[in-house]
Every structure is written in C-alpha cells, then in structure tokens.
C-alpha cells in the first residue's frame, strides 16, 4: 500500500455550507485513512500556484478567486489505488454529470463550486501533498 496516496481539499463552498463532517464521513466510510489534515485559507497567490496547470484556461482567474474566498480543509489520504478510488467517490467535475451518491452529486453547487478536489495522478498526489504538508505531518 505504500505510495497509494491522494490529496484532497474540501472547497470553500462545502466548508461554508457546513458539509465538511458529512464529506469526511463519506471519505472514511469508503475506506480511506487520513494521513494528514488541516483547515486553512488560501491566498489568491497560493491558489494560483496550486492550480498553475490551469493558468491558460478561461476559468483560471475565477477559480483562484473562489478557492481563496473562504476556509478549506486539506487532507492526504491513503488507500489501495487511492487516486482512482477517490476520483470515483467524488464524481465528475460538473455535478450535473456526477454519478448518484458521489460527493459532488450530493454537495456541489456548480462546475466551479464543486465541493471537493481530488488528485488526478500518483505523481500529482505527491506534489499536492507536499504543497501543504511536510513529511513529519504525514503519519
Ligand atoms: P477536477 O477538479 O475534476 O480534476 P479540473 O479540470 O482539474 O477538474 O479543474 C479544476 C477545477 O477548476 C474544478 O474542480 C472546478 O472547480 C474548476 N473548473 C473546471 N472546469 C471549469 C469550468 O468549465 N468552469 C468553471 N470552473 C471550472
Ligand atoms: Mg484536476
């Protein structure tokens, strides 16, 4: 199981709606273990750095505004095949396309304010986890 990690953030819309507890319950219920967790608030600059890969996309500025608009909860999660398993649990980017029972189908309000982030590859999971947590904070 070593190396099977993914990184997630409960996004500002879900945090401010009071859905963090329900979302964490679903995550643990699906067999993920929390290796690191913190509540924080991103500056626009930090959000911009985190989503740098999207900087040419038309929604980039809005995304950075939105991700810095309120607190988030960042977590590193472990499970076998964590990245794919977690993408399945959260559902499609657009909640209108997300499968029934997925976190985004249940809690997202729009394609932008879609409740939760999930890493898209093992490599990005490591990069994103390192963006928020030191090795000592992950156990
Ligand atoms: P993902 O979060 O499902 O991996 P990405 O394509 O990586 O989706 O996009 C990152 C984030 O950017 C999304 O989670 C969502 O918040 C936002 N986003 C993606 N596509 C759009 C769009 O078409 N309009 C507005 N925001 C978007
Ligand atoms: Mg993505």
pLDDT of 1 reads: 45
How many structural domains comprise the chain?
1
State if pTM tops 0.85. Answer: yes
Distance 136 CA to ligand 1 centre (A): 30
Does the beta carbon of 112 sit less than 6 angstroms from any atom of ligand 1? yes
- Whether the Cβ atoms of residue 76 and residue 5 lie closer than 8 Å to each other: yes
**Pairing label, strands 72-78, 33-40:** antiparallel
Task: Quick: pLDDT tens for 90-108.
Answer: 999 999 999 999 999 999 9
Range of the domain at 10: 5-138
**Alpha-helix runs per DSSP H in 6-121:** 12-16, 20-29, 44-50, 60-67, 82-90, 103-107
126: domain CATH number is: 3.30.70.141
Identify which ligand lies nearest to the alpha carbon of 57. Answer: 1
Distance 108 CA to ligand 1 centre (A): 12
Q: Which of 75, 74, 108 is nearest to 93 (CA)?
A: 108
- Closest atom, ligand 1, to C-alpha of 93: 3
């Amino acid at each position: 199981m070593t190396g099977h990690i993914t990184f997630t953030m409960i996004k500002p819309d879900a945090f401010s709606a009071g859905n963090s507890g329900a979302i964490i319950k679903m995550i643990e219920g699906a067999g993920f273990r929390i290796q690191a967790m913190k509540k924080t608030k991103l500056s626009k600059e930090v959000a911009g750095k985190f989503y740098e890969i999207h900087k040419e996309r038309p929604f980039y500025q809005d995304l950075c505004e939105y991700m810095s608009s309120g607190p988030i909860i960042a977590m590193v999660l472990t499970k076998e095949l964590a990245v794919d398993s977690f993408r399945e649990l959260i559902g499609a980017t657009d909640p209108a396309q997300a499968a029934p029972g997925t976190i985004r189908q249940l809690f997202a309000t729009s394609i932008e304010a879609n409740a939760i982030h999930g890493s898209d590859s093992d490599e990005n999971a490591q990069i994103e986890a390192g963006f928020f947590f030191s090795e000592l904070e992950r156990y």
